[in-house]
Structure 1
Amino acid sequence: MKNIKRFRVLVMGRANAGKTTILQRVCNSTEKPEIFDGEGNKVRSYECSQRGYHNIEHELMFQSNPGFVFHDSCGFEAGSTQQFDQMRNFVVDRGATTKVNECIHAIWFCIPMTDYHRTVTAAEQKFFNECDTGHVPVILVLTKVDTLNLDAIGELEDEGWKIEEAQGKIAEKERELLEKWLGYIKHRLGRCKFPPRGYVSLQKMHQESADCSALMQCTANVLNEEGLQRLLISTQQSSIALCIQYAVQK
């Protein structure tokens, strides 16, 4: 375990799920990630931005925190069976490889709340029913939760509230909506063969000062090796409090 140099994460989810923004916040960066191929050669462009094309083998890294290495599946909901199989083969191979610095340690599966009426599509069910990630934990990450604000306002208006009178109730209604849809997602995915091992929601990721400590905490909690927990806690820069908390617990 001591020979592992970097914490490696596979990031999954639909296009426009806010994945890159989350990685930027985790690494305290506003820059786009640098992309490297499997041989360590820098790739000129972020190829995932080309619709319909991706290379899951490519490594995404930020100069601000080279302790993290990310892989992006770039969303397979619109892809072919071949793309899904490629992703599954990557998960199996990188989860079982004996090359310790090529192992993936966690998977962040992002679902945006911009389209919460279709939070669990056939693509999500296919992944959680057919992709056995083995010892690599999958964390379900709800992104763009802030968009529930407009829906909260709409429901309050439907209940007869005037917006100027309902300001104190909007945040409460947002929490109710989030709890409702999170419960729905847990129910649907919990019935799958290989359900997520953790759930977390992220807010205000558009702000450079956004807090990712909940994601770090959730990931650390579901890791099955103490060495990996230590690696993650020491690598993450989002929360000094989390470092202290983990040190006290151990």
Structure 2
Amino acid sequence: MGRANAGKTTVLQRVCNSTERPEVFDGKGNKIDGDVLQGTLNRGIHNIEQELVFRSNPGFVFHDSCGFEAGSTRQFDEMRKFVVEHGTMGRVNERIHAIWFCIPMTDYHRTVTVAEQKFFNECNTGHVPVIVLLTKVEVLNLPAFEGLLGQGLALDEAKERVAEKQGELLEKWLAHIKHELGKCKFPPKGYVSLQKMHQESAECSALIQCTADVLNEEGLQGLLVSTEQSGIALCVQYAVHR
């Protein structure tokens, strides 16, 4: 879940170690024609029931919820109905197991809007944990650099300290988000910051680790870690821990 241009698809590509677009299926396993799908997306139509699967790792099945952040009550209600129904399915392959809620740092001045407050106050996900993903963290590099120059630092010194300053800005906004969402009725279970997901070398072990930590079933934790094929170190860590 998340706003438009929050980098959701890019994160999923990194998780599945892919650069391709996902294949899309309806809720009954039938593949949806790409031209038909693109036509609906161009008209702003999104169906949370549709399943997104990457050929590089079909063990993951994703659902994309779009639109309710724009204020559509109907789309919000459809999303909530889907979460409630699929969060309690008896069969493990019919259930949703975790929700990744993306907040892009491109909008760092408006990280928690009415849309986020509405979701975390009105959507009881039950046993399905919600993790907030701070995406596109690298954009904080520019305000960090400008802030250092504004303090009177020379160009070379500002370049040397920009990474440290960027980290301080990230901590500031993360603390703000945690404070605001922590006041909500159904706050998230975890937070992960991601940056440079557009680079093929980017890795998502922190996201997988956090997701495994907040899952409430040990069997699901092991299944998640083993499905994330590229995280060998994470598999070893999880096996030793257990």
Residues 36-85 of structure 1 deviation map (CA, whole Å, 9 limit, x = unaligned): 00121111234574353100000000000000000000242114111100
Counterpart position of 2:18: 29
Q: Structure 1 stretch 40-49 or stretch 134-143: which is displaced more?
A: 40-49
Amino acid at match of 1:14: R
Counterpart position of 1:112: 104
**Identity among equivalent pairs (%):** 73
TM-score, structure 1 as length reference:
0.93
Distance 1:185 1:193, change over 3 A: same
Kept in 2, the 8 Å contact 1:139–1:219? The answer is yes
Kept in 2, the 8 Å contact 1:15–1:74? The answer is yes
- Does 1:152 pair with 2:144? yes
Counterpart position of 1:17: 6
Counterpart position of 1:4: none
Distance 1:103 1:207 in 2: 31
- Runs of 5+ in structure 2 lacking a partner? none
Higher helix share: 2
Kept in 2, the 8 Å contact 1:212–1:238? The answer is no
Counterpart position of 2:154: 162
Higher strand share: 1
The DSSP-based 3-state class of the residue aligned with 1:68 is coil
Distance 2:116 2:59 in 1: 29
Kept in 1, the 8 Å contact 2:98–2:129? The answer is yes
Distance 2:197 2:155 in 1: 25
- What CA RMSD, in Å, does the superposition of the two structures yield over aligned residues? 1.1
Distance 2:155 2:173 in 1: 23
- Does 1:128 pair with 2:120? yes
- Does 1:227 pair with 2:216? no
Equivalent pairs counted in the alignment come to: 239
Structure 1 residue 238, shift from structure 2 partner = 3.5
Amino acid at match of 1:149: N
- Runs of 5+ in structure 1 lacking a partner? 1-11
Amino acid at match of 1:204: K
Give the structure, 1 or 2, with the largest relative contact order (CA under 8 Å, sep 6 or more): 1
Kept in 2, the 8 Å contact 1:153–1:163? The answer is no
Distance 1:208 1:144 in 2: 14
- Does 1:137 pair with 2:126? no
Counterpart position of 1:61: 53
Q: Structure 1 stretch 51-60 or stretch 19-28: which is displaced more?
A: 51-60
Kept in 1, the 8 Å contact 2:105–2:137? The answer is yes
